[in-house]
Every structure is written in C-alpha cells, then in structure tokens.
Amino acid sequence: MGRKKKNKSPLKSPTAAAAAATPVAAEAVDIITGKASLEYYFDPSLILKENQGTIGRQPLKNGAGSSTKTPDLSSKYLFVPCTIIKPLDEENSQKSTGKVDGQPFPGPTLVKTIDGVLHKISDSTKLIPVTAPDDHEGVHDVLNLPQISEASLLHTLRIRYARNDIYTSAGPILISINPYVTVKQADGQSIYCEERMLLYRNRTDYTTGPKNPHLFLVADRAYKALMDSVHSSTEMDHLEDEDAVMMLEYHKPPGTVRNQSIIISGESGAGKTEATKIIMAYLARITKRDSKASYNPDGSMIATLEDRVLSSNPLLETFGNAQTLRNDNSSRFGKYIHIYFSTVTGAITGASISNYLLEKTRITSQVDGERNYHVFYQLLASADQEMFHDFGLQGGASSFNFLGHRITGNDIADQEGFKQTMACLAEIGVSPEDQRALFRTVAGVLHLGNIKFEEHDDPSESFTESIGKCRVSDESRPSLRKACELLGLDEAKLEDAILTKVIVINGKSIKKAQTVPMAEDKRDALAKMTYSCLFLWLVHHINLSLNQASEQTKSIQKDQMGCIGVLDIYGFETFDVNGYEQLLINYCNEKLQSHFNRHLFEVEQKLYSDEGVDWSYITFNDNSPCLELIEGGNGIIGILNTLDDAWGGMGTAAEKDSKFAAHLHRLFGKSSELDTSKDSVSRRSHYKHFITPKIGLDKNFIIKHYAGEVCYNVDGFVEKNMETLSRELKDLGDSSSNPFLKAVYSTAGVEVQCSTAQRSSIRGSSVSWQFRASLQTLVSDLERTQPHYIRCIKPNNSKLPGAFAAADILKQLKYSGMMEAIRIRREGYALREEHETFYKRFSLLLGYDKIKKGEKGIVELVRVLSGLLCVTDADWQIGHSKIFTSGKTPHFSTNRYLDPISTSHASLLSLSQRSKSVIGYVKDVEATQNVLADEKKRSFDSGSAAASACILDCAKDS
C-alpha cells in the first residue's frame, strides 16, 4: 500500500508548532492584605521532614520529625491551591526583596493552602502553577482546561464534587464520582427524576438542553447514535461532546444498524451498579409507549417489557450482590445486558443478560465485616411464619455457618429488599409455587453449611483401613435431615456422596473414604453447585421473560432491530491476600483496558490518517505483554495454561499448588532471564510483568498489571480452576425428588469435568478456560459496537458523603487510563467537527462584505477565526470532512469563546437585514454589547478578549 497523501492545506500539525509558552501562575487576592499573589498546586511530598504537620493553625495529626507522609495529608491537601509566603533561608530572603509577591524559590519555602494552614516545603519551584481562572471554576469538560495536568484535573473534580456536580466529561468519557448520598437539584428533586430525563431527551441541540455532564447524556447519545445509524439526523452535535470513537468509520452502507455499547468500569464501591440501573431506567422511560394491557391465564396482568427489563437488575443484585468492606452493594459477578430496540418505532423489543464469574467462595465463607449474598439475609428477615417453620430458619443468621454465625443488623433494609425481590419475581413471571421452591433451595444451602464431620474409627476394620475416615457428627444430623428435606435428596445417598469418593482404576470403580477436610470440601462443593446453578436458572428465566414478544414486536424484522449493550463488570481488585478469583477479575480488567486503549488511542491515529491530517505517532501504555503473560500467545505459554497443566500428576491439592508456583518462577522468574535461547529472548518483554517475591515464593507470585502490582497466593488455585463436580455429587443432583431443583440443575447444564485423574491437562474444560472463552466472546461483541465509556470513581474508602480522598482518586484516574486518554486527546486534536456543521456555526464571522465577495470557503473561515482568537495555523487542521482543533494551547477553547461571539455577531448581521425599528435596533445592539462585555470581563484569554473586542467594535460601528 502506498503512502497516504497528505492534506494540501497550508495549516500545520500541532507537532510542528513551537512549544507552548511556560505557564504563568494565576493571581489570587489575599483576603487579609488585599494584595494579588500567584497561586500554585500544593504538593504534600515537598513538605520538610521536620515539619510533617503544619506550623499554622489546625496542625495535622502527624508530628514533627516523622519520616513518612500520612494518607490523611495527601488526601486532604494533594494539589489544593496554595500561595507562597516567603523563603525560609537567609540567602533567598535577601534575594526576595523587591520581587513580586508569590514568586517561587529554589530552597525551603513557607506556603499557605487555601484553608489558611501554613506548611514548610523543600522547594517551591517544584510546585505546579495554577495558570487560569478556569482552574477554579470546575469546568464541565476537563479537556477545556487551559493547561491540563494531574493537578488541574484533580482540583477540577474536587471543586465539582464539593458542589454536588458528580459527573464530569473528559471529551468522550464520563467521569462519575460516587456521592454516597442522594443528590438533589435546587428545587429539591432528584437529579434522576423523570422531569430531568425528559429535559435530556427533548433537547433539540446542545444549546437548548441541559449542558451538565450526566449519565442521561451518555445513554441518550448511545440511543441517538443507534437510531441515527439508520435514520440520518440533521441535529447539530456539539463539538466538545463528539466522541473520537464515534468518528470511526464502520464501513457499513447507509441505513445499516450500528449497535452501541456503554462500558461502565471502576473499583468496587465506585457506583457501577447504580450507574447501570440509572441508564436502564432512562432508556426504558424515553422509549416507553402506551400499549394495550396483557393478562396471564389466571387473570393477572403481565408486566410491560420495560418494567420487566427494570426488574431484572434488583433480582440479580439480590442473588449476586453482597456487602463488602468497600461497598454495601458490591456486584460479585459481571453482567452484560443487551437491550434491543426497534429502529422503526424506537421502542424496546427485548433484552438478554450474559453473566460472568459469580464469586462462589462467598457462598461458604466471608471475611469479618462482609456478608454473604443479599438473598440469605432477606429471607431470614422477612419470611412468613410458615416459611420460618418449614425452612428451619428459627435460629436466625447467627445460627448458620455459611453466614459466619454473625448478626448483620440490617433487618429493615433486608425486609425492604425482600419485598422488592418478591415483586420483581412476579414481574418476570415466576409463579408463587416456583418462588417458594426457590427460597426452599436457598434455605437448603444454609443447612448444608451446618453439617459437621468428625473422625470415625470402625472397630470392624483394620487400623490402616479405618485411619482418616470420618462421619457426620450426631449434633449436626438434624441439619443433614433438613437440607435433604428442602433439596429433595435422599439422606443416605447424600451422606455417602460426601463421605466417599469413587475412583475408577482399570475400568473398576472403587470407593475411597474421605477425611474430615475432604468431606468439608465436598459439602462446600455441593452448596456452591446448588447456589450457582440457582443463579444461572434465574438468569435463564429472566432472559425468557425479556424475550417474550408482544403483539407490537412480533412483526419486527431482524434487520429492523438494534442493540445497546450495558456492561457492568467487576473492577480491578487488590487485597492483603489475593487468590484465584482476583487473578481472573484482574485478567478481565486487563482485557477491557486493552479494548479501551484500542478505541481511544489507536482509533485516534486511524482517524487522522483517514482524514489526511498530518500527525506524529502518539504512544500509549500498551498492556499486551501483560495479557500474553496471563493468557498465553506470542511464543509464551501463559499463566492460565500453566495452571491447567498443573492438574495432572500425583499429590494433594496443596502440593499441586506449590508445584504450580515453582513452575511459574522457573518459566517467568529471574532465573528464566538467564536463558539465552532464541525462544526465551522473544519472550523477554513479558518477564518484566512477572515478579518473583523475595519471601514466600513457594506460595506467591506477583504480576505487574496496568493498574499496579498484585501479589497472588496460590492456595486453592488448582482445585478452584478444576472445580470438579464428582460423579457422586452430579448423580445426587439428578436424583432430587424436587422438580424445581431438577430443573435448576438441568437449566444450568452442569457438566462433570475431569472425572478421572489420568488426564494430564484440563485445557478446554477448566474454569479459567471457560472464563477466557466467555471473555473473548464479550470483547468480540464490544468490538462490533460503537462504545461509550463511563469511568466510576470511589471518593473514599469509608463510604462517607463529601469526603474527597485526593490521593486515592488520582490513583484510580491513572489506573482507569484516564490520564492517558486525556493526554492523547490534548497531544493530538482534542476537538473536531464536520465541515458543514462548523461552517454553519461560524460562517457569519466572515463578515457581510467577504461573504458578498465570495470569500466564504472553510479555509478562509479558519484564517479569519485564527486572527480573531490570536492563534496560529498550528492550532487547526482541515481534514477531508472535518475540522480539527488542537487542545494543546492554553489560551484556546473554541466552543467556550467562539459560540457566544458567533451568536452575537449573527444577531447583528440578522439585525441589519430585518430591523425596522430604531428602538428595537438600539436594544439589540445594547444587548449584544452587554453579552460581549460580560464575556470579555470573565475571560482571561487574550485571544478571546481580542475577538470579543473586535465584534464589540463591529457592533458600535453598526
């Protein structure tokens, strides 16, 4: 393929432009002295060691002489504005005489933060200047900051969060900070009320609707993009709201549906689940149509499709969410919700849900301070007397081993949750009989956990035959009986299945007695199998309900349907002890980060090439080597494949775990770097993502993820990866006399994996292999959509409203790729717009004379605007179909300054043609002058001020 021919426009790329001028700190007025002083962003890392606290009022907790900074200090003061008071050494004190207030000094300096607290820092020249008033305003879109940096971004989010503006745009990405409280408008209504939904939906363009970033805006943009892919729209999109990814050409013929996706990510507790519910509520409301009511055979009304879609979320939360240390409603599984729409009527026609990796270990154990899944507590808090008696729940949560024998104290919330769960089950069509059977199964899982075992010596057997044998303890036999009663299982068969293991040798089946730990593992495996199958049955039933075609949707053809997918999946996790689940969760996040990289970085480059725009390649942090380390590829076997191979051979589960860890260190650890073979050299780039710990290397290994280093403990890796359902447990489930439970196992499609130990590998059937396959399907689905991104941020670890832990938030912004995304847009062309739309908005600025003379091309318009704003050609590029505007220059924000100028000038030009009244003419001119004077007054930008003055002079001359 030949080299792409560059655009012949005389305008140059930003890479060819001269470097921007050194930022100058903005001035602030001291409220005591009344003098103007320069402002900077405070950096706690510069605090002198002998002054870890402050020397002013409100001293911090950490005392003088401390050698480390406390988290509180970074969280409270990181990048808040401060002013320089004076140098602290004699040499700089003499040099400072006569200098402008607030100038930085290379030595120890006394500074004051905006709360009036004084700090001693080592070097004030290392402070980042606050360059413009916009840094104090909390702008809607951080790409509009004159000089964007970690400091200005963080402070903008801090300002907006303090005034309950919890949503902020970063170009095409929405940043959402969890408020931990209901946010209301000035009129007292929720910011998610129906009236506000309709405001976002009914706006005809950017200037007539709400301008604040919002989840509604993202949902509406996705819906509009779906419909516009089939029906061309003349609606003018606002320049700053245009998504770079949305510019990507999909090479589909006009009128072909282009599906959308909304990808919601963030740490646990950042608000992903709530964001998903809000987006679904918005889509359901704006597409709701009046329709004729439908009824079941028993006369009950069938819930509308929109109501069924909304009911799916609370149900999945009940069975798949739990209270954790970080989040009271943490999703312990991932879900991708497909919502289907008619491109003819715009209405919802159906939906389906895909689920990923339910956390099964939570079913049988939780750490202190956390809970099991919500449904267990809802049942205990709200079951009627008949249920309590029949299900054996009289002892409450403290009587069950699987609930940690802990009293939760959330009875009121659990009671309300149970009411909602029952209502949602009814709305998706679960009969009262099946509802009761469902809760019988939940109670049966609880009673399984109370079965205990004890060692048992059989006098009739020899010592070697009886050693290690166990039996069900007498005190727990009532729990065994109750579990069998609720699950429809035969007591003797259940006992035999748990206490023995069938081994096949040379075609002969031999029963081997289990030890107490082995029996406990099999008991837990049965409980996990039962609950996870119940969860899958629920997802399956929800999907059946959401795909019931109504009379209005039966006639819709497939080519008349489109889809918006909403992805709510677990965020990156790191704890004191990280296990198998954390590895899969973080692998998933690596995969999604790779998708994010491709669509926000590589698509930028493709867009510039397709448009014939001069550009230099912009690098980004590619996480492909880390992905290949985990999943294999490019000549490397991968950690997960190595884990699959660890199943074979002799030894206990603990021994296999240790062998697995040792094998990883041989393959990827420091010792492997000494290998100079050709294959080893080709894999060397992956080794930097694998770290051998200094201690505990027989149990631990470290992966350097995009979000940071995580140390994994291999205990239980091999067993969890295999998750074998022994033949006896599988047969036990099939033998249930409970028709509902039989259907549960059947719907889940339980398969026996690796029933014999002869297999050296379980590739193709392991949990990790299945997870990889489903994750690849998810990513493939996302690749076929036009994505919209929401990055959820957790403001603090204490779940407190109003608390802004700056250091933690900055870390999340980095981990989520936000800093990279912002950098790529700022280093390239942050703003872009179609030629036609751009010309319509600003062509009036050419002036009547130039338009009359025919000087009305797009090149001439750009030249005129450059003169008005005092910017150079390097700030613009004219592509084949779009105008590109650089976001690098600190003086320039096209929409912020050109829109009011263009509007005002348009008013004057229109006035000269239509004005018939001298009084009306004078009023219009005065109004225009007032608008421009206000703009000039609040503008710090000399370019925009010059433009305003230019138009103001034009108004006066008129």
Q: Where are the alpha helices (DSSP H) in 2-101?
A: 71-77, 90-95
Task: Confirm whether residue 269 is marked as ligand binding.
Answer: yes
Q: Give dist(CA 320, CA 421) in Å, integer.
A: 13
* Contact assessment for residue 908 and residue 955, using Cβ atoms and an 8 Å cutoff: yes
> Buried b vs exposed e over 692-725: b needs ≥16 C-beta within 10 Å?
beeeeeeebbbbbbbbeebbbbbbbbbbbbbbbb
Q: Give dist(CA 569, CA 336) in Å, integer.
A: 8
Q: Where are the alpha helices (DSSP H) in 268-336?
A: 272-286, 305-320
Going by C-alpha positions, the residue among 861, 851, 936, 856 that lies closest to residue 901 is: 936
> Buried b vs exposed e over 861-899: b needs ≥16 C-beta within 10 Å?
bbbbbbebbebebbbbbbbeebbbbbbbbbbbbbbbbbb
For residue 274, give Cα distances in angstroms to 313, 568, 865: 10, 10, 44
Number of neighbouring beta carbons within 10 Å of residue 64: 12
Number of neighbouring beta carbons within 10 Å of residue 24: 13
Task: Confirm whether residue 126 is marked as ligand binding.
Answer: no
Give the strand pairing for 109-113 and 81-87: antiparallel
Beta bridge partners of 47: 121
Asked whether the CA dihedral 151, 153, 154, 158 is positive or negative, the reply is positive
Task: Confirm whether residue 273 is marked as ligand binding.
Answer: yes
Task: Confirm whether residue 272 is marked as ligand binding.
Answer: yes
Q: Give dist(CA 261, CA 249) in Å, integer.
A: 16
Residues sharing a CB contact under 8 Å with residue 719, sequence separation 6 or more, in sequence order: 521, 653
Task: Confirm whether residue 63 is marked as ligand binding.
Answer: no
How many Å separate Cα 749 from the centre of its chain?
31
Q: Give dist(CA 443, CA 378) in Å, integer.
A: 11
Q: Which two tokens stand for residue 252?
A: 């589909």
For residue 957, give Cα distances in angstroms to 285, 905, 921, 925, 951: 51, 13, 13, 10, 10
* Contact assessment for residue 611 and residue 880, using Cβ atoms and an 8 Å cutoff: yes
Q: For residue 327, with 0-12 CB atoms within 10 Å meaning exposed, 13-18 middle and 19 or more buried, which class applies?
A: buried
Task: Confirm whether residue 271 is marked as ligand binding.
Answer: yes
Going by C-alpha positions, the residue among 910, 647, 614, 628 that lies closest to residue 764 is: 647
Q: Give dist(CA 322, CA 328) in Å, integer.
A: 7
User: Residue for token digits 């005489």?
Assistant: 97
* Residue stretches of the annotated binding site: 266-273
Annotated binding site for ATP: 266-273
